[in-house]
Amino acid sequence: MIVVITGASRGIGKAIAQSFAEDQQVHTLLLCARDKEKLHSSAKELQQRFPFADIRSFDADLSTREGVDTFAAWILSATPHVDVLVNNAGSFVPGNVSSEEEGALQQMLDVNLFSAYHLTRALLPRMLERKSGHIFTLCSIAGLQAYKNGGAYSISKFALIGFTKNLREELKPHHIKVTAVIPGAVYTDSWSGSGVPPERIMESADIAKIIYSVSHLSPQATVEEIVVRPQEGDL
């Protein structure tokens, strides 16, 4: 199985990579993140822990079209096809529509929506040729329910869910699966120093396990949306 994961240097992305890497079956993992040092360190760590996996990394800023195109070209030259694409690259900047800094919406759309849109479009032709593949988009509860201080981030996640829904309808007859993963609070670096105890928030591994399991369903089964929240509800 050949798996592409963006935003893979830490948090949810790294946990997803680990879930696939620890499978004793042979997996090729193509990992991407913006921070070169953290990405290569994470890839090296996973390769040492799971030597039977083939783990490769490529640093690129997917908030830019150039970054997406460069990463896509590397993927297409490195492997004959992609079985699983996990669009996990994302960023969170709090703010309200009325007061957030100029350019906040464009910034959030570039990272949270257009990275997934352009990378998916670049890799789809080979999926369509093979009539197989599974595309996951990491959305957010903020894309289902507006909340205070959500601003541009929430808008971008609403858009990402819309993109995923349209993609699902379009690809049904081509046997390509599309799944929107919609988590509530997950304990990542963005929560460190917040004062919220880790046990109140979900673990990155929770999301990773779900994605791994869904990717191994029979060809005739598709999970369209996964909504997962902390046991005690949203924060």
Quickly tell me which residue has 């598709």 as its tokens: 222
Q: 10 Å Cβ neighbour count for 18?
A: 22
Residues 105, 95 contacting (CB under 8 angstroms): no
CA gap 3, 78 in Å, rounded: 12
Catalytic positions, written as ranges: 153, 157
Residues 153, 92 contacting (CB under 8 angstroms): yes
Non-local (6+) Cβ contacts of 195 within 8 A are none
CA gap 117, 85 in Å, rounded: 12
